[in-house]
Amino acid sequence: MMRSVVAAGLVWALTGCAGGLASIPLPAPGHVDTDITLTAVFTNALNLPVKAKVKLNGADIGEVESIHAQDFSARVTMKVSAGAPLFTDTVAELRSATPLGDIFIAVRRGPDATSDAARLGDGDTITVDHTTSAATIEDVLGSAALLVNGGAIRSLVSTVNGAGTAVGGRGAKVAALLHDSNTLLSRLNARSAQIDGALRNTSDLAATLTARRDTLNTVLAAATPATATLADNTTNLADMIAAAGRITGQLNRFPSMQGTDARSTISDLNRLSDVFNQIATDPELNMNIWNRMITGITHITSGPDIHAVGIVTQLAIGALPDKNYPGDPGIHGPDGTDWHAMIGSLRYEWNLLLSRIYGPEHQPR
């Protein structure tokens, strides 16, 4: 009799094991008091099992009751605690603690959360725009394979090796470059206020130019004919400046006519011009200024007809007498009898100039 009972028990045990592990139910996370039912719509809920945990900030608040497909999406029914702070902006995400771990649903407040958001109630739905799906183990392994075999690591190694080759043996120069760059940045940072002021002034200048654009356009339009004239006569202007330069150079080569010093004719003319200017602007003009001119005149005109020493107390100019002075009958205006004196004076000055340039022995006869 005992043997029959034991045999029947063994048969029943073996029969129960014939169903496999698939027939053994998963342990539930625990009973949820005063629960409500929520539905979350996912585009993909692959590997999410029934009885999976629902977590809020890492704490279990419920479990998955059922999963069914509808309109090419996965509708997941969850039973969660009624006291959990879930609002209409709640976001549901499929996550896993480890790459090979079980999938669970993590809920949290959305990025557009507001203080006046309503609470989720029994039967409410978290729409697909507030849910995200977790990456499957196939996606993780595929991404890892692409990273390893796709050349990214190889390119990184090549880049590092190339940088090492370029810097090899030049560590001190690279360090100096980094130090100088750091110094430059420090100085720019220290003068940021000045740079900001310069940029602001430039901006103000640009704004002023923009505000006066019409005026500038008018000025440029008015200056266009003058600019065109200058452009058309550029060659003539350049030739004139060059000729003036050559004339000035030749004048600087002329020495003093008297030959007693190294001063040039231009120097004597400048002195005479200064004296004439003083005569024109002096309100108390007298003959002392003429005495100051005598020295310059004798240096550039050494003819015998101009040298004279005397004291002039009374002067009548011309052949006609003044009403207060009888006049000198020997004084007369220029006539033909004075040409030989003028020509002789010019001849004398010309010979003196030639002797200064060529020397006495080469003076033309």
Cα angle, residue 257 at apex, residues 255 and 260 outer, rounded to 5°? 80
- CA dist., res. 23 & res. 39, Å (int): 26
Instruction: Kindly list the domain boundaries of the chain, sorted by start residue.
Output: 24-136, 317-365
Phi (first) and psi of residue 139, to 5 degrees: -65, -40
Which single residue is written with the structure tokens 């609470």?
A: 119
Calculated CA dihedral for residues 290, 295, 298, 304, nearest 10 degrees: 70
Nearest Cα neighbor of 49 from 141, 128, 134 is 134
Kindly tell me if the per-residue pLDDT of 350 is higher than 50.
yes
* pLDDT, mean of residues 238-258: 74
- Cα separation of 329 and 340, whole Å? 21
pLDDT tens track for 283-301: 676 666 667 667 666 666 6
Higher pLDDT, 137 or 143: 143
**DSSP helix/strand/coil, 144:** helix
> How many Å separate Cα 105 from the centre of its chain?
52
* Model confidence at 116: pLDDT above 80: yes
Average pLDDT over every residue of 163-177 = 77
> CA angle at residue 74 from 73 to 78, to 5 degrees?
145
Dihedral pair phi/psi, residue 73, rounded to 5°: -145, 160
Nearest to 299 by CA among 357, 352, 365, 243: 352
Would you say residue 233 has pLDDT above 60?
yes
Q: What is the distance between the alpha carbons of residues 133 and 46, in angstroms, rounded to a whole number?
A: 9
- Cα–Cα distances (Å) from 109 to 57, 97, 172, in that order, read 10, 20, 53
Residue whose tokens read 């004239």: 229
- Distance separating alpha carbons of residues 104 and 51, to the nearest angstrom: 9
Among residues 164, 184, 161, the alpha carbon closest in space to that of 174 is found at 164
Over 90: is that where the pLDDT of 262 sits? no
Query: Which stretch, 84-98, 128-142, 239-253, has highest mean pLDDT?
Result: 84-98
Calpha distance 10→243 (Å, rounded): 133
Q: What is the pLDDT of residue 304?
A: 46
Indicate the pLDDT class of residue 42, thresholds 50, 70 and 90: very high
pLDDT of residue 32: 47
Q: What is the pLDDT of residues 80-112, one digit of tens each?
A: 998 888 898 899 998 887 766 788 999 988 887
The answer to whether 275 and 295 are in contact (CB under 8 A) is: no
| pLDDT tens sequence across 193-220 | 999 999 999 999 999 988 988 888 888 8
